Structures are given as structure tokens and as C-alpha cells.
Amino acid sequence: MKRYLLFIVLIALAITSCGTSNDNKITITWWHFWTDTSIKPIIEEITADFEKKHPGVKVELVDLTWADGHDKIAISFSSGAGPDVVELGSDWIPEFSSTGHLLDISDKTESYRDGFLIWEPGLYENRHYAFPWILGTRVLFINQNLLMRAKYAPDYFPGYWNDLLTACERINSLGEEFYGFGSNSAERHRLYKKFLPFLWSNGGTILSNDGKSCVLDNPENVAALEYYLKLCKTGLTDTQRRLEDAFLDGKIGFVISGDWLLKRIAREKPDFAFNTALIPTPDTNSVISSFAGGEYLCVNSKSAHPDLAFELVKHICSPENQLKFCQQNKTPTPSSVTASTNDDFISQPHFMTFINQLKQSKMPPAHPKWVYIEAELERAIEEALYEVKTPADALKDAITKIDEILSQ
């Protein structure tokens, strides 16, 4: 019997000894997604720098992956064991802010509003819950070889919808293996990101100004969907991954994509003749033409050290640290205005396209029920794409369902 007791005592010791630390430092935990070996050292450098400035504070980094990071964050917050600081994708914020899991940082961020871009995803009932960090947007990628074969100058880019349609038709008629436009197929959770910029640039909206009803069938929206379908007919419809493959193979004239494609081209096909441009607008009046997304930093409302946690957020988002991060990660779109005016930084090829496009980008409404609205919106786009319904009917039918979601 004694032997068993010893065994149990040993196990108990082993379990309890794991959790204790022997210094009296305050620990701030930060859950983040940058696990790649090319960027993780920068994250560590930034946190080490914070520790140096705040003696007695230790920053504990926890790596998350895109595969299940979202679930882990949600589960940890719902069980009250969330980290002090968490990195959230822009479209995840509302579900956390609307349920009281995030610290209201409205007063703390007041003096920073002008120096950083796109605060909207962090807004819930006019209060701020998220600090913009690394943003992203999508631009038009152009295959210059196909452009020249279609008798355009290599530096040509379509400024307006009609120009794009004409250019796509001309490239599409070059031969069976060439496609004008690379359009997204019925890819759940991605299709709406491709369509919404067309809707916005045409002056359309999904919800009424007060956010209480759906106005999806207004003429601007219908016209935008009709244009998108026309564009789809001038090329290849496939998943984003395969569209980018085909673009790199030189088969597609125009494809809308983000900075990851820049990196991929540099890595896989550095000699590829391509250009980037702002996504065309219907006419000169439009100001918005792309879909933005990004990474935001939030403080847990149950954090034991909310002020220190916010200090860490500020430190990570400071222009110097953003610049350091973006330069290493080849991300053209920091949220900091100061960082995106650094001469060295913006001189990198194609970065200016992204920086300019970001100023003409928008995110979907920060609504706690967005994921439901998104599903109905995508259903409508799909029905029109597959010619089950006309664009007008498809959008009209979605209204009933979205209104129902809004009223719950």
C-alpha cells in the first residue's frame, strides 16, 4: 500500500509543480497567430522590448494557428480563462465585443484615432473594443503578357468597370486556354468578400442606416450583382486557391487578391510580368472599391491588469513596431499612418497600390449576427451565379431572411 501512496504523492507533486513560478513578476499573456519562423522573432523582439521598458512585467506569448485558433479563443473566453491581450481577426470582434468579453477602450484610444486607420470593426454600440494593428486589403493583379497580347500597353490598367469588362473580353478571346477575369465560385465565407466591393463602389449597402432593416434589393445592389455576373462570364470561375495558381501559370488576365499573392510571386516566380492597380470603380464618383480585413488587438474585460494589457497593445501597435513587423513580414498595410508614410517602406514594389487601396476599402458592418447575414447574402449571390434566380429576385428573397435575423 505504501508504494501506491508514494506513487500518488509523486504524481500530485508533478502536477502542482508545473504551474508555480518562483519570481514575483506580473504576467501578461498575449495570444497571437504569428508562428512562422520568419516573423516570430520580431514578435519576441517586440515583447522583450516591452519587458525592458516595464521591469517586473513578463509577457507570456501563446501561439495560435489559423486552423483552430478561433475556437480556442472562443472557448477560453467563455470559460473565463481568456488571455489578457488577444489578436482577433476583424470579422471575429463583434461576437466578442457584443457579449461583454472585451474591455471598453474608447477613452484610452481617443488620442490615437487619427493616427491609425479603420477602427470600425472594433465598434459596438458606439464604443471601441479593438485597436487596429496589421490590416489587409485586396487589389487588382494584372498579367502584363496577356495585356500586351490583347494589344494593350504593358502598363495599362482599367480605371472603370467598363474598361475592365472590355479588357477581360479581349483577353478571354485570345484563345481557349486564356481567361479574362478570375472570379470566385460558390466558396462559402469568401464569395461575399469578392462581391461586396462591387456593391459598395456602386453606392449600395446591405443594412439601412440605423442597422435595423435590410435594403439588399436597392437598384445599386442589383446593378452591382448584374455587373459581377457579366464579369464572371469573361473568364474562369474557380476557388481562390486555384485562381491564384492559374494566374501564376499565366492563364488569367485579371485577378483580385491580397498581399499574400505578392509574396507568392516573389517566392515562386520572381520574373513574372505583372502589375497591380486599384480595383476599378463604376465611375469617377465612387470612393470605395475593395474589401479590407485585418488583425486587431483587444484586451480581455476580465484581465487582472487591464492598464498594463492596454500598454502592451499600444506598444505592439506603435508606428516603430508596426514598421518593424511589416518590413519583415512584407505586409504593405500597417494600420499606423506614420508607418505607411516611411519612404523606405513605400518604395517597395506595389506597396503603394495597397496603401492607396486601403484608403478606399471597407469592412462589412460590425454586427454580432454578421455570420448569419453573410450566409444569406452568399446564398443570394450563388443563386444568381447559378442562374436559379435573377439578381433582383435573389437579393429580394434574401431580405425576408435577413430581416428575420435582425429582429431576433
Partner 1 sequence: MKQNGYAKGWMLFSPWIITFLVFWFFPLVYSLVISLTDYRLLDPSVDWIGFANYSKLFSDADFISSLKNSFIFVIGTIPFTTAIALALALLLNEKFKGRTFFRAAYFMPSITSMVVIALIFSNLYARGGYLHLLADMIGLAPPANGFLLSENSALASIMAMDIWMASGYYMLLFLGGLQTIPTELYEAATISGASKWHQFRYITLPMLKPVTLFIIVINSIKSFQVFIEIFVMTKGGPLNSTFTGVYFVYENGLRKFDFGYASAAAYVLFAIIAIASVIQFKFLKTEWKA
85 and 313 Cβ atoms separated by less than 8 Å: yes
Residue 118 or 394 with smaller CB distance to partner 1: 394
129 and 298 Cβ atoms separated by less than 8 Å: yes
Q: Does 234 bind partner 1 (CB under 8 A)?
A: no
- Figure out which of the listed residues 65, 78, 208, 400 binds partner 1, where binding follows CB under 8 A: 78
Q: Does 74 bind partner 1 (CB under 8 A)?
A: yes
Q: Which three cell numbers stand for residue 55?
A: 521591469
- Figure out which of the listed residues 84, 87, 91, 95 binds partner 1, where binding follows CB under 8 A: 95
- Figure out which of the listed residues 169, 238, 295, 311 binds partner 1, where binding follows CB under 8 A: 238
In the bound complex, what is the minimum distance in angstroms from residue 90's beta carbon to partner 1?
A: 16
**Structural Rg of the chain based on CA atoms:** 24
- Figure out which of the listed residues 84, 91, 169, 383 binds partner 1, where binding follows CB under 8 A: 383
- Figure out which of the listed residues 304, 388, 400, 404 binds partner 1, where binding follows CB under 8 A: 388
Q: Does 9 bind partner 1 (CB under 8 A)?
A: no
29 and 83 Cβ atoms separated by less than 8 Å: yes
In the Cβ-directed half-sphere of 93, how many Cα atoms lie within 13 Å?
31
Q: Does 174 bind partner 1 (CB under 8 A)?
A: no
Residue with cell 473566453: 77
Q: Does 188 bind partner 1 (CB under 8 A)?
A: yes
Which range touches partner 1 (CB under 8 A), out of 158-166, 220-228, 232-240, 340-348?
Answer: 232-240
Number of residues that bind partner 1 (CB under 8 A): 29
- Close Cβ partners of 144 (under 8 Å, ≥ 6 residues apart): 154, 155, 273, 274, 275
* Alpha carbons 327 and 46: distance in angstroms, whole number: 14
Q: Which three cell numbers stand for residue 262?
A: 505578392
* Of 138, 137, 133, nearest in space to 42 by CA: 133
Which range touches partner 1 (CB under 8 A), out of 181-189, 200-208, 276-284, 328-336?
Answer: 181-189
In the bound complex, what is the minimum distance in angstroms from residue 302's beta carbon to partner 1?
A: 11
Q: Does 96 bind partner 1 (CB under 8 A)?
A: yes
Q: Does 382 bind partner 1 (CB under 8 A)?
A: yes
Residue 240 or 333 with smaller CB distance to partner 1: 240
100 and 77 Cβ atoms separated by less than 8 Å: no
Q: Which three cell numbers stand for residue 66?
A: 489559423
DSSP letters, 218-270, are SHHHHHHHHHHHHHHTTEEEE-HHHHHHHHHTT-EEEEEE-HHHHHHHHHH-T
- Figure out which of the listed residues 45, 49, 51, 187 binds partner 1, where binding follows CB under 8 A: 187
In the bound complex, what is the minimum distance in angstroms from residue 346's beta carbon to partner 1?
A: 37
Q: Which three cell numbers stand for residue 91?
A: 470579422
Q: Does 87 bind partner 1 (CB under 8 A)?
A: no
Q: Give the H/E segment covering residue 15.
A: helix 2-19
Q: Mapping DSSP to helix (H, G, I), strand (E, B) and coil, where does residue 74 land?
A: helix
Footprint on this chain of partner 1 (rule: CB under 8 A): 1, 4, 71, 74-75, 77-78, 95-96, 99-101, 185-189, 236-239, 242, 371-372, 379, 382-383, 386, 388
